[in-house]
Structure 1
């Protein structure tokens, strides 16, 4: 079963410089289900959807040992410009390992008009829970 999310479209992986500098993009379609209620008559793509774009881009382009990681935290977000229906959002991501052994992804999201957001996400290895007999 696919996870539920706010995006109707797909985040596309872009060619990467190397494993620590990755890229993706998302085109905001007119059919995005979040648009009609977010400023009716003047739709703006919500910031939470930009965070989701960064997260999905990170999951799709993560370095090898991050592939089975889970989101541990949204460390910071900064929204710097509006994103409208029809915009193509370019997502440039940089990866680094934290002192705690987790991974941090710093994403910069831009459109043709300039900066849209910066997002910092942290990922950790998935943990599996085992049930104990009662």
Structure 2
């Protein structure tokens, strides 16, 4: 996808609150936050009068969080698949979304399992696959 500009439905910035670190079992963990602003472009149509941050945007928050917190030694990561997504409670405008990531794998393929929470508790569980394209991490 060289030369192709990546697009995202999420306007909010991803803030790294815990950089990637490895445990003794080879897992890498990291954490980010994303604040869902009233200005998110997807909100006016989802649902008028009672806006809810769409599930695909919650997945995108995990994707963007993964790109911001690659495992040590990983090259340029590219999303290669969504393994699963389970939505547990809605995310609303103004919510501060916390994303706790756990990376496993390596050797060209990484699995990123994420627990997404808001002030009301668990919002989603998402598992993504990334392909390591080599080169420098993004």
Q: Do the structures match in fold with TM over 0.5?
A: yes
Q: Tell me how far apart the structure 1 counterparts of residues 31 and 132 of structure 2 sit (CA, whole Å).
A: 22
Q: What aligned pairs does 1:5-24 form with structure 2 within 5 A after superposition? A: 5-16=8-19, 18-19=21-22, 20-24=28-32
SS of residue paired to 2:73: helix
CA RMSD in angstroms, aligned pairs only: 1.8
Structure number with bigger Rg: 1
Alignment partner, residue 115 of structure 1: 122
Distance 1:4 1:78, change over 3 A: same
SS of residue paired to 1:117: strand
Gaps of 5+ in 1: 128-134
Q: 1:25 aligns with which of 33, 46, 57?
A: 33
Normalising by the residue count of structure 2, what TM-score does the alignment of the two structures yield? 0.84
Q: Tell me how far apart the structure 1 counterparts of residues 43 and 29 of structure 2 sit (CA, whole Å).
A: 31
Alignment partner, residue 69 of structure 2: 61
| Bigger shift: residues 64-73 or 77-86 | 64-73
Q: What aligned pairs does 1:25-104 form with structure 2 within 5 A after superposition? A: 25-97=33-105, 101-104=108-111
Normalising by the residue count of structure 1, what TM-score does the alignment of the two structures yield? 0.87
Contact (CA 8 Å) 2:77, 2:131: kept in 1 or not?
A: yes
| Bigger shift: residues 34-43 or 89-98 | 89-98
